[in-house]
Structure 1
C-alpha cells in the first residue's frame, strides 16, 4: 500500500513539471476527446476560455487564460501528440511476417481405360479420326 502512495506522489510531481501549464496538461490528457469535440463544431475560443477559467485552469505562470493562449496551447498539444505518436510508430517493431502455406497440389487422377466394348469410346474416336482424315484429304496410315 505504501508503494502505491509513493508512486502516486511521484506521478503528481512528474505530471506537474516540465514547464507545462495546467491547461496544456488538461488538453494533453484529453486530446482525442477534445479533438473530436472540435471536429463536431467550429470552436469559439472565447467561450472555451471562459469554460477553462471556470474550471480553475491557468495559463503559463498562473495567469488568467485568453482566447489566444487557449488556441495556441491547443496547437502545441496537437503538435506534441502527433510527434509522440510518430515516435511510437517508428519505434514499434514491424508486424511479424507469417508465411502463407498452401497445400501441395494433388496430381490429376489417371484417366479411365478406354472402353473396349463395341460401339464404345474407342470406336467413336476411330470414326472421328477417319472422318477428319477424309475431309482433310489425308490418307490413313496403317
Structure 2
C-alpha cells in the first residue's frame, strides 16, 4: 500500500539491513521522490515496474533530465487488478513489432494518461473479465493477456 504507513514501514526496516544494498520498487512516480529516497538513505536505489510498461525508456529520460515523472495514468493506481492487466497488455503491445520498426519505443503502447483511452480500456477490460470468468467456470483455459487495440494515436 502507498502513503504514510508504507513510509513508516520503510523507515523501520532500513536499520535492520545495515550491510545490505536495499532497492525499493513500487509507488515511485516522480524523480524528486526517487532522489529524496536515495539522498535520505531510505534506499540505495529505485526499481520501476508498471510505469515502464507504459514508457519503457522512462529511466533514460529521467536520467537525461527530459522528464521528471512517470506518465499520469488515469487508472486507479490502488486497483491492483486493472493496473496489472494494463501492464500485461502494454508488454504484449510492445512485443508485437520489432523495435527496429518503431520510430519511438513508446509506439503502439496504450497511452493510459489519455481519458478516452482509459474509458475504452476499462470497457474492454470488463469484457475480458466477463469472458475469462465464464471460461474459468467451465474449467477452460484462459488467455491471461488482454489483446487490446489503442483508439488514441
TM interval, short-chain normalised:
under 0.3
Q: What TM-score results when the alignment is normalised by the length of structure 2?
A: 0.20
Structure whose residues are more often helix by fraction: 1
